[in-house]
């Protein structure tokens, strides 16, 4: 069960997220989504949960210049970080809740969402909103992380944090980012959201790389709402927790550059 704090990406999180977390795990999946979108030849694309713009940048590179991109996110601070580093085409950046999309019915050819659906408090409602703004025959394309055990750096960090806070282990990563990986549940939620055609669900494995175990630990512990969980359990212990996670990752993957498995599901469904 996710909590309200699971959706808060604010303070220093957006900058750390963009600098450390995006290259660690998000970029390969962003490029994949952008390639799939390009094959659809859309004229207007809505991005949900755009974060700091990993998929937005990939779409800018993959889609023809005439394609209109609208990028939204629940957290304005994430979009502000995206805009600060943006160098691509004109994009409409809009703070928006995926459960209340502020656009007219049938106004987009494609809706994309990278690792955002896990955060929807009401997933069928979020899916129904995506379907509502799609034109007939349009495509909803999104991805979600697979189980935490198939995502090695995050799994190691989560286990290490349980040693730092044994009475109340921070479980954000297992609970929310890696808590929505059952294909049957996803298909059922899409059906409840009004999609009548069966989705295509693909398991996609990539490699996660960082210059050091420390960089991977900073991304995981300080570049997401996990930071808030750590600080709530131990004020002033963020660095200790991060260093403990770094040591755990280094024990398994080495003291230099690190390379680990990441795995996600890619879902494509037609309206």
pLDDT at 123 over 80: yes
Q: Provide mean pLDDT across the span 17-32.
A: 96
Q: For 52-75, how does the pLDDT look when each residue is reduced to its tens digit (9 = 90+)?
A: 999 999 999 999 999 999 999 999
CA dihedral for 229, 232, 233, 237, sign (positive or negative):
positive
Q: What angle do CA 120, 198, 62 make, to 5 degrees?
A: 70
pLDDT band at 5 (very low <50, low <70, confident <90, very high): low
Q: For 190-243, how does the pLDDT look when each residue is reduced to its tens digit (9 = 90+)?
A: 999 999 999 999 999 999 999 999 999 999 999 999 999 999 999 999 999 999
Q: For 71-94, how does the pLDDT look when each residue is reduced to its tens digit (9 = 90+)?
A: 999 999 999 999 999 999 999 999
Residue 198's φ and ψ, nearest 5 degrees, are: -70, 140
| Distance of alpha carbon 223 from alpha carbon 193, whole angstroms | 31
Scanning the structure block, which residue is given the tokens 């805009």? 83
pLDDT at 96 over 80: yes
Q: Does domain 4-270 have CATH number 3.40.50.150?
A: yes
pLDDT at 10 over 60: no
Q: Provide mean pLDDT across the span 112-137.
A: 98
**Of residues 154, 199, 192, 189, the one with CA closest to residue 173:** 154
Q: Is 121 helix (H, G, I), strand (E, B) or coil?
A: coil
pLDDT at 185 over 80: yes
In the sheet where 258-270 sits, what is the strand order?
92-95, 68-73, 44-48, 108-114, 134-145, 258-270, 200-210
Quote the pTM value.
Answer: 0.94
| Distance of alpha carbon 222 from alpha carbon 16, whole angstroms | 7
Per-domain residue ranges for the chain? 4-270
Give the tokens for residue 34: 């952008």
Residue 209's φ and ψ, nearest 5 degrees, are: -130, 145
Give the chain's mean pLDDT. Answer: 95
Q: Provide mean pLDDT across the span 144-157.
A: 98
| Distance of alpha carbon 180 from alpha carbon 10, whole angstroms | 23
| Distance of alpha carbon 160 from alpha carbon 156, whole angstroms | 6
User: Which value, to the nearest 10 degrees, does the dihedral of the CA atoms of residues 88, 93, 97, 100 take?
Assistant: -110
| Distance of alpha carbon 93 from alpha carbon 69, whole angstroms | 9
Q: For 39-48, how does the pLDDT look when each residue is reduced to its tens digit (9 = 90+)?
A: 999 999 999 9
Evaluate whether 165 touches 238 at the Cβ level (below 8 Å): no
pLDDT band at 12 (very low <50, low <70, confident <90, very high): confident
Q: Provide mean pLDDT across the span 22-37.
A: 97
H or E, element range at 262: strand 258-270
What pLDDT does residue 6 have? 47
Other CB atoms within 10 A of residue 232 CB: 12
């Amino acid at each position: 069960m996710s909590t309200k704090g699971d959706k808060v990406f604010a303070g220093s999180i957006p900058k750390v997220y963009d600098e450390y977390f995006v290259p660690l795990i998000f970029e390969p999946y962003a490029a994949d989504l952008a390639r799939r979108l390009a094959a659809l030849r859309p004229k207007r694309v809505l991005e949900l949960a755009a974060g700091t713009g990993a998929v937005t940048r990939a779409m800018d590179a993959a889609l023809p210049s005439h394609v209109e991109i609208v990028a939204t996110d629940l957290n304005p601070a994430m979009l502000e970080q995206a805009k600060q580093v943006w160098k691509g085409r004109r994009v409409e950046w809009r703070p928006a809740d995926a459960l209340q999309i502020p656009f007219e019915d049938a106004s987009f050819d494609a809706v994309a969402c990278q690792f955002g659906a896990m955060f929807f408090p009401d997933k069928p409602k979020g899916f129904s909103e995506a379907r509502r703004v799609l034109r007939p025959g349009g495509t909803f394309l999104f991805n979600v992380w697979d189980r935490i055990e198939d995502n090695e750096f995050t799994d190691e960090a989560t286990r290490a944090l349980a040693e730092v806070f044994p009475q109340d282990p921070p479980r954000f990563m297992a609970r929310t980012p890696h808590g929505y990986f059952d294909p049957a549940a996803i298909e059922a939620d899409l059906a409840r959201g009004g999609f009548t055609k069966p989705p295509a669900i693909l398991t996609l494995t990539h490699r996660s790389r960082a210059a050091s175990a420390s960089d991977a630990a900073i991304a995981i512990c300080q570049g997401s709402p996990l930071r808030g969980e750590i600080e709530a359990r131990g004020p002033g212990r963020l660095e200790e927790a991060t260093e403990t996670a770094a040591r755990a990752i280094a024990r398994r993957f080495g003291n230099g550059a690190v390379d680990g498995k990441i795995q996600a599901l890619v879902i494509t469904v037609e309206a």
